[in-house]
Amino acid sequence: MSKLPLDRILQSQGFGTRKWCRELIEDGEVSIGGETVGDTRSTFETDGLEFSVYGEPWQYREHVYIALNKPADYECSRKPSHHPGVLSLLPEQFALRDVQPVGRLDHDTTGLLLMSDDGSFIHAQSSPKRHIPKVYVATTHEPLTPRLVEQLLNGVKLHDEPAPLAAVVCRMLDTHQLEIVLEQGKYHQVKRMLAAAGNHCVALRRTEIGGLKLDALDLPEGAWCYLDEAQRALLAQS
C-alpha cells in the first residue's frame, strides 16, 4: 500500500499536471466517499481507492490493462496520420498517462487489441520470444481450397523474410473465410501469407490472444474494458 497526496493521485491517473489537479481539488470538483475534498494536502491510501472527478466515478489503478474491440479505419498510433487513433476511443485521461497499443493492427483490421501504460507488460506481450498465439479470421476474395490451407500450414516464402512462415493452425470456416493462428506477428503477415498462397484478404479480424477470447469479453465494436488479473493470465495460455 502507498499513501499519497490527492493532487499526486489525480496526476498519476491522467487528470493533468499537478498544478491543474490542485485547482480541481480547490474548486471542489473531487470527492471521496461522497464527500468533497478541498485540501490538496489530504493524503489517501491508494489501494482500492475510489474517487469522483466532476461527478464521474474512478478507481485508482497503478497501471491500466485494457482490451479494445477495434473498429476499422482507426490507426494503432499515438500520432495517427490518415485515420483517427485508437486512443480517441478511450477517455482522455488514458492518453495523458501514456497508455499505448500493445503491437499494432492495420487500420482496416478489426478485433482484439490490448492497451496499457505498463512497459513491462507491453514488452512481454510484444516479445517474439514468448510465442503467444494470436487467432485471426480472414475473409478472402477468391474461394478457399484445401491446397491453400495446406500451403499456409507448410509455410510460404515472403519477401524480406529469411525463411518460410507457417500458420500454427489453419482451417476453413466457409468458402471465403478461414481461421488462422500465428505466433510471429510480422508486418501485414496474414495478408502477405494469403497473397503468397495465391489469394487476397478482403477483411481481417483478430479474435483471440493467448487464451483470451474477444467473444468472452462481450464488447461491441469500438468498446473497451479493463482486464482483471485472471483475464491477463489467459494471455499467457496457448
The domains located in the chain, with CATH, are 3-59 (3.10.290.10), 65-127+216-234 (3.30.70.580), 133-209 (3.30.70.1560)
Whole-structure pTM value: 0.91
Name the DSSP letter for residue 156.
B
- Helix, strand, or coil here: 97? coil
For 14-65, what is the HEC assignment?
CCCCHHHHHHHHHCCCEEECCEECCCCCCEEECCCCEEEECCEEEECCCCCE
Catalytic center residues = 106
Average pLDDT, the chain: 93
Q: What is the dihedral of CA 233, 61, 207, 202, to 10 degrees?
A: -150
Percent helix / strand / coil, the chain, rounded to 5: 25, 30, 45
Cell numbers 499537478 correspond to 18
Provide the pLDDT for residue 120.
Answer: 93
Of 180, 227, 238, give the one whose Cα is nearest residue 68.
Answer: 227
pLDDT 10s digits, 13-60: 999 999 999 999 999 999 999 999 998 888 999 999 999 999 999 999
